[in-house]
Amino acid sequence: MEDFQNYRHYKTQDFVWDDAFRSWVLESKPEDTLYWTQFMVQFPDREAEINLAKDIILRMTVNEPVLSETEIHDITERVMQKTSSSASRPKNTARASWKTSVPIGIAALAFAVAIVLLIHIMQTGKHTTSQLTESTFTTKTNSSGHPMEIILADQSKIILENESSIRYPQAFADNDFREVHLTGNAFFEVAKDASRPFLVYSNGIVTKVLGTSFRIHAPKSDDERSIVEVVSGVVAVYPVGDHKPQEVITKNRVGEVILTRNQKAEYSKTRNNLVTVLVDDPIPAVTTRATQRFVNHPILDILDVLKSDYGIDIIHDDHLLVNRTLTADLSGLTMYQKLDVICQAINASYEVIDGKIIIL
């Protein structure tokens, strides 16, 4: 495990994509729990970032059976016991011909190796696949005048808009990423696979997800802005710039932004500028109450309701609002209309900065 100082200035997105941190969240090994507990004791200002990162990882992860180290050890021990017993001879056979003993030893070793390989396949849930060649890729261009649905090998779904094209492998190789290349506009509904992030390369940016739904506008012209808009889940967006895409994802991560529901990233390739904003019309969660009538209700509670409904961070001064209440019917209003009503009642205003709402 790395030294504490390496994580001292980590933000939520840094924890989310850190392998050691993800291993602790998903596997909960005692030594990892001790490490991160001590880290939070030493740096309590990171606790909120850590808790949010844990929540994001758990919401993006599907439960898959994993063989423990003990199970692997037990299987290996049983195999070796069987092979050694079948290969063993009474002590007076030590003078037996090497022509007999060597093949038995080789057979035992081969059998053990085969079992270990089988365990590896069971552990990872992946099939050994030769490296993808150019011939294994498919390119589809939609000129039909209406959206085209594409189902990938991992069951991810793509709705490809008219005058758009996408390049993807017929089967995803046994490697660290699932990768596709987009030109134009598409909606993605990505199948969850915590071990292999899904990457979309599009006009100077890379979009990285584990399992979520989002839209991408990737124009052919460098003069137009590329847009990534999140519908559900969490998405990381990276500007490629002069770097190779894999370097940006695994090493540099320069200019990275993390998007959640109702946020979008806008990228200018000519300026190499990536910014986070809110979508034009934020959509509430499915579980949002149809009726939102409040009578002398605390403003802070109403703002918490909006945060939960829209998944957007609303920053405000608790001390100024702690005793303020609101009587209003917010049913049927858009998020921005609701904010207008609230701010008018408390004689305040709001701004949208970096995909967050700031009440002034």
Among 66-75, 153-162, 276-285, 347-356, where is mean pLDDT lowest? 66-75
**Count: domains in the chain:** 4
Q: Spell out a b/e string for 188-201, using b for 16 or more CB atoms within 10 Å of the CB, else e.
A: bbbbbbeebbbbbb
- Residue 93, judged by CB atoms within 10 A of its CB (0-12, 13-18, 19+), counts as exposed
Contacts of 243 (CB under 8 A, 6+ apart): 252, 254
Upper half-sphere CA count for residue 9 (Cβ side, 13 Å): 0
- CB of 137 closer than 8 Å to CB of 170: yes
CATH code of the domain containing 298: 3.55.50.30
Helix axes 299-310, 335-346, angle to 10 degrees: 160
14 and 139 fall within a common domain: no
Contacts of 347 (CB under 8 A, 6+ apart): none
Residue 328 lies in a domain: yes
- CB of 202 closer than 8 Å to CB of 167: no
- Residue 244, judged by CB atoms within 10 A of its CB (0-12, 13-18, 19+), counts as exposed
> According to the model, what pLDDT value does residue 114 have?
46
> According to the model, what pLDDT value does residue 177 have?
82
Q: Please, what's the largest Cα pairwise distance for the chain?
A: 99
Q: Please, what is the average pLDDT of the chain? A: 75
Whether pLDDT at 240 is above 90: no
> According to the model, what pLDDT value does residue 166 have?
93
Rg (CA), the chain: 27
Residue 323 lies in a domain: yes
The DSSP result for 256-322, as a single string, is: -EEEETTEEEEEETTTTEEEEEE-SSPPPPTT--S--EEEEEEHHHHHHHHHHHHT--EE--HHHHT
Whether pLDDT at 332 is above 60: yes
155 and 250 fall within a common domain: yes
Whether pLDDT at 148 is above 70: yes
78 and 48 fall within a common domain: no
The total of other beta-carbon atoms located within 10 Å of residue 348's CB is 17
| Boundaries of domain holding 350 | 293-359
Residue 154's SS3 state is coil
Find the mean pLDDT for residues 202-223. 82
> According to the model, what pLDDT value does residue 7 have?
85
Residue 89 lies in a domain: yes
Reported as a single tens digit per residue, the pLDDT across 103-122 is: 444 444 444 444 444 444 44
Helix axes 30-42, 19-27, angle to 10 degrees: 120
30 and 80 fall within a common domain: no
Backbone angles phi, psi at 243, to 5 degrees: -90, 160
Q: Pick from 124, 145, 162: which residue ends a domain?
A: 124
- CB of 342 closer than 8 Å to CB of 323: no
Residue 285 lies in a domain: no
> According to the model, what pLDDT value does residue 60 have?
59
Contacts of 235 (CB under 8 A, 6+ apart): 207, 208, 209, 212, 214, 228, 258, 259, 260
113 and 236 fall within a common domain: no
266 and 180 fall within a common domain: yes
Distance CA 155, CA 303 (A): 38
Residue 284 lies in a domain: no
